[in-house]
Amino acid sequence: MIKSARQFVEDFLPYNRVGFADFEASSFPTRAKKEGPGVFSYPVQIGIAQFNANSETFASCIRPTEKWEKRGFWDVQSEKIHGLSRQQLASAPKACDVVSSLKRFLESNEIEVLIGGHEFDRDWWQTLISSVPKIAKPQVRFVTWSDIAYDLGGALLAQSVDLEVAVEAAMSFPARPPWLSKAHDALDDALYLRYAALKTFFRSYAAYRRSFRPAKA
C-alpha cells in the first residue's frame, strides 16, 4: 500500500536514476542562426538536480572552446539574463574538464537519463559533450520533459497509484518554491525544473484519474 505520493516517488518510481538538467548559454539558438550559416549558441553554465530532492547536485560554469568563440554567437541580452561575462568565463573550467567532472558525477550517482526542459537544452548538451573524444563522453540519454512524461504516467498506472494519493501530491507543491531566489542560474533552474515537472505531472495524473471515475447513479 502506497501511503503517500512522496513515498511513491522515492521508493517505487523507476526513474530514480534521473537528473534534471538546465543550461545557461551564450544566446538563444534562434537568435544565433540569424547571424549567418554555421553560427550557433553554446553553453556557459550547467546545473543538474537529481530526482531525489536530498541527493547531490552538480553545477559548473564552462569556459568556451576556441571553436565556440570562433563560430559561436555571444548575445549581450543573454549575458544580462544569466549575468555571466566573457571575462568571468575565461577563468571557468574548460569544457573538457567540465565533461570529465560531469561524467564522474553521473556515474557515481548511477544517473542514466537527463531531463531538460526544452529542445534547446538537448542542443547545448550535444555541443558540450562534442568537445571531448567519444570514449570520454557520459553514457546517458538526454530527453526533454515532454519525452518522458508518458513513461512516468505508465509507471504510476502500473503501481495503481490512488487518485487521492495523486491529489495529495499535486497539492503539496506551492505555486512558487520558497527556496527559489535566482531567476537564471543553471542549478537553481534545474531544481525548479524538477519541482515544476513533478507538480505538473501529479496534477495531470490526478485529472486523468478523475476522468475515469465511475458516474454516480
What is the pLDDT, as a whole number, of residue 62?
A: 97
Give the pLDDT score at 194: 80
| Residues 128/99, Cβ–Cβ less than 8 Å | yes
Q: Which residues of the chain have pLDDT under 70?
A: 1-16, 52-54, 148-183, 201-217
Query: How much is the pLDDT for 75?
Result: 95
Are the CB atoms for 46 and 60 separated by under 8 Å?
A: yes
Domains observed in the chain: 5-208 (3.30.420.10)
The residue written with cell numbers 542514466 in the block is: 112
User: Which of 149, 148, 144, 143 lies closest to 208, judged by CA?
Assistant: 149
User: What is the rounded CA–CA span in Å between residue 201 and residue 149?
Assistant: 7
How many angstroms separate the CA atoms of 123 and 125, rounded? 5
Per-position DSSP letters for 75-125, written without gaps between them? -HHHHHHH---HHHHTTSPBHHHHHHHHHHHHHHTT--EEEESSHHHHHHH
What per-residue confidence (pLDDT) applies to 79? Answer: 93
- Position 3 scores a pLDDT of 46
